[in-house]
Amino acid sequence: MEVEISPKESRKAYGGEGGEYYAWSAGDLPMLAVAEKGAAKLVLGGRGLAIPSYSDSAKIAYVLEGSGRAGIVLPEASERVVAIRKGDAIALPFGAVAWWFNDSSEADLTVLFLGDTSKAHKRGEFTDFQLTGASGIFTGFTAEFAGRAFDLSEQEASRLVRSQPSGGIVKLKEGFQIPEPSEMDREGLVLNCEEAPLDVDVERGGRVVVVSSQNLPLVGDCGFGGDLVKLNGGAMCSPGFSCDSAFQVTYITKGSGRVQVVGIEGKRVLETAVKAGSLFIVPRFFVVSKIADAGGMQWFSIVTTPNPVFTHLAGKTSVWKALSPQVLKASFNVSPETEELFRSKRTSDSIFFPPPQLTATPSAETE
């Protein structure tokens, strides 16, 4: 499989006074098209509003930084307005109309979007349809059609449709009131990965929160799941692969480290340093492992199944521990003593391995 999988950073697609929208293209990262996945990032400044839009792709939105509000309208349902903050994951199935607002003047609101483009107009890229604005849907209709649709005169419809000259993102004036959020509306729609129960917690190693249809039901409608992983400084994430033919789309949210990916015929297809802002994709059945730098590393991923299952090749839950000694010895072509030494290692470590040498001070950790 000769496809470039080196990590890439996003490029600005559009923006204005209220904020910017960034995207990764299949031209820069061909694996997006191969995996039929998309990635984008919205950065809203103070009072910035991303006007209502829908997409040709199902997505998971993940709040990287800041806080604000979001309005979600699912097909044939009422608007749900929720307060959003760092660590929130929001499932956006097909047909969902969403708007995003930064109600703070102190810090940016940054939202990551990862999703499925198998039904999109462009494989590997999202196409969003804005309901209004310079490139809004109704700017394409004649005044006659818009007027008939809204029960307005042609003059009234034309004025309504063309009164917003900005495209996609605007900045609201102080005092303009946006709907207040409801805590009840968060239920079943939003999961805060920073506060959710841990699915994996390894002392001095790392922690995982899995986003699945069990804790965020709408993920099932999207057709894929996700996870937030925090790896302590110097710790290693066990080599492993998705055993249900899923691609892994990974965005480094904080810190830095190193990544290796090994594929067909034992070929190392990626060996690189990664940092916050990097995005890369692991092909199906390829084995990936990561080691965090001293400051730790954190990432958010989607896996192309709503309830992902991984096979690990090191640690107490690895397939090696399940194989019989005879098969292991014959497979490696080693002596019984070497097989026993190999089997005696990593008997308590699972998925994450702490740094090999501990100092008097605790290892650094990505908060």
Residues 272-288: pLDDT tens digits? 999 999 999 999 999 99
**Over residues 296-301, mean pLDDT:** 97
Edge-to-edge strands of the sheet including 88-92?
11-16, 19-23, 37-44, 109-116, 58-65, 88-92, 190-192
Mean pLDDT of 3-24: 93
Can you name the residues that pair with 113 across neighbouring β-strands? 40, 61
Q: What is the arithmetic mean of pLDDT over 72-100?
A: 96
Is the pLDDT score of 24 beyond 60?
yes
- Kindly report the length of the chain: 367
Higher pLDDT, 66 or 345: 66
pLDDT tier for residue 2 given thresholds of 50, 70 and 90: low
Helix runs in the chain, H state only: 31-35, 143-150, 154-161, 183-186, 219-222, 319-322, 325-332, 336-344
Residue 125 has pLDDT above 90, yes or no: yes
Residue 350 CB-half CA count within 13 A: 10
The pLDDT of residue 13 is 95
As a whole number, mean pLDDT of residues 29-52 equals 96
As a whole number, the mean pLDDT across the chain is: 91
- Residues 198, 94, 128, 103, CA torsion sign: negative
Query: Please, which pLDDT band fits residue 360 given cuts at 50, 70 and 90?
Result: very low
The strand pairing partners of 319, in sequence order, are: none
Percent of the chain topping pLDDT 90 = 75
- As its CATH architecture, domain 193-310 has Sandwich (2.60)
pLDDT at position 308 is 67
Band of pLDDT at residue 314, cut at 50, 70 and 90 = confident
Q: Which CATH number fits domain 11-133+168-186: 3.80.10.10, 3.90.230.10, 2.60.40.3080, 2.60.120.10?
A: 2.60.120.10
Of 19, 179, 11, 194, residue with least CA distance to 107 = 19
Are 11-133+168-186 and 193-310 equal in CATH topology? yes
Per-domain boundaries in the chain: 11-133+168-186, 193-310
Share of the chain above pLDDT 70, in %: 95
